[in-house]
Amino acid sequence: MTILVTGGLGYIGSHTVVELLQNNFQVIIVDDMSNSEKFILDNIEKVAGKRPVFFPFDLKRKELLSQVFDAYEIDGCINFAAYKAVGESQEKPLDYYENNLFSLINVLQEFKTRNISNFIFSSSCTVYGQADEMPIDENTPLKLPESSYGKTKQMGEEILKDFATAYKKKVSLLRYFNPIGSHPTALLGELPIGVPNNLVPYVTQTASGIREKLSVWGNDYPTADGTAIRDYIYVVDLAKAHVKALQKLLNETSETVIDIYNLGTGKGSSVLEVVNAFEIANDVKVPYQICERRAGDITVAYANADKAEKELGWKAETSLEEALRTTWEWQKYLVNRG
């Protein structure tokens, strides 16, 4: 089986490529390296013992994409390629709509024309907004996200539902909660550009002295310690869920399938709990300061991931502390690389 992985040199994509290779799938990566680097390809090979086929181009370039489909018999796609910075999406909404939706549609057009099925889409818990009740399951009503980034995820889901229904295709929409951590080999991990938006890379950069202090955005939320609560899912656990979701689609006998799964641990952790767990796991201090709440941040989000356990046989297995240990090893690797 040959799987196209768009954005396969990115954070979640690279970990998933390793899992696919280790499960004997052939992998073709298309990534324009707008948020990744070439050494990740070498490191994928070091970890998995196999080198995936790699094409460095922008998926908006339809003619190049078509050539890949001409050259290889593709059986499915996992679509990670997207811009993902929530704040930036508010400043550059058109870039986000253009990149995240046109690149998606271009791949779907090839699937339609060439009669290929099995498409997995990286969605996000942002599609739920601030849900009224916790935990969030797949039937929790969606709310219009505040950011243009979040809207591209909701629109992407709608495009895929229409695609599956009209052309009789099998699709899986995976709603990730908050991915953290790095590969246990410390050869793969997140590469944040500039000041990280996400908590854990901000914590690791502060611990290693790149940032003076971690900014904790608000300690007046209605939570036990006043800081916001999220569901932190270890990236290798998340990567494994993609293989399970793909295997399910490949085994489906129905022509049309629209799967939707929450991928989280089911447990919420506050910002200060994460800081504390990081300090204990790695025996380093993380200086922090309390700042004003950040616009658009919600109070609490954690998953009910029972559906994924029941239907995919998948469950998050790695503890927060263990995930935070891997992230620190990755940070040290990046510092040593220079």
State which residue, 178 or 262, has the beta carbon closest to ligand NAD: 178
Residue 36 interacts with ligand NAD (CB under 6 A): yes or no? yes
Residue 34 interacts with ligand NAD (CB under 6 A): yes or no? yes
- Among 150, 31, 143, smallest CA distance to 89 is for 150
Out of 25, 44, 65, 103, point to the residue binding ligand NAD (CB under 6 A).
103
Pattern 174-213, ligand NAD, x by CB under 6 A: --x-xx------------------x---------------
Nearest residue to ligand NAD, using CB? 10
- Min dist CB 294 to ligand NAD, Å, is 15
State which residue, 13 or 268, has the beta carbon closest to ligand NAD: 13
Residue 9 interacts with ligand NAD (CB under 6 A): yes or no? yes
| Alpha carbon 335 to chain centroid, angstroms | 24
Give the C-alpha separation, 300 to 178, whole Å.
12
Out of 4, 25, 32, 54, point to the residue binding ligand NAD (CB under 6 A).
32
Find where tokens 């990046």 sit: 334
State which residue, 168 or 300, has the beta carbon closest to ligand NAD: 300
State which residue, 12 or 246, has the beta carbon closest to ligand NAD: 12
Q: Enter the DSSP assignment of 34.
A: T
- Among 177, 182, 178, smallest CA distance to 40 is for 182
> What is the maximum span of the chain, computed from C-alpha positions, in angstroms?
56
Out of 30, 200, 228, 312, point to the residue binding ligand NAD (CB under 6 A).
30
Pattern 115-134, ligand NAD, x by CB under 6 A: -------x-x----------
Side-chain-side CA neighbours of 304 within 13 Å: the count stands at: 13
CB 108 within 8 A of CB 159: yes
Cα separations in angstroms, 301 against 11, 54, 127, 235, 298? 22, 36, 11, 18, 8
Angle at 124 between CA 162 and CA 33, to 5 degrees: 95
Residue 88 interacts with ligand NAD (CB under 6 A): yes or no? no
221 is catalytic: no
Q: How many residues bind ligand NAD (CB under 6 A)?
A: 29
State which residue, 189 or 255, has the beta carbon closest to ligand NAD: 189
Find where tokens 């994460």 sit: 274
Catalytic residue among 83, 128, 149, 234: 149
Task: Tell me the residue ranges of DSSP E strands in 129-243.
Answer: 170-176, 178-180, 214-217, 229-230, 232-234
Residue 13 interacts with ligand NAD (CB under 6 A): yes or no? yes
- Within 57-76, the residues that bind ligand NAD by CB under 6 A are 58-60
By DSSP bridging, strand 76-79 and strand 2-6 are parallel
Positions annotated as catalytic residues are 149
Residues that bind ligand NAD (CB under 6 A): 6-7, 9-13, 30-36, 58-60, 80-82, 84, 99, 103, 122, 124, 176, 178-179, 198
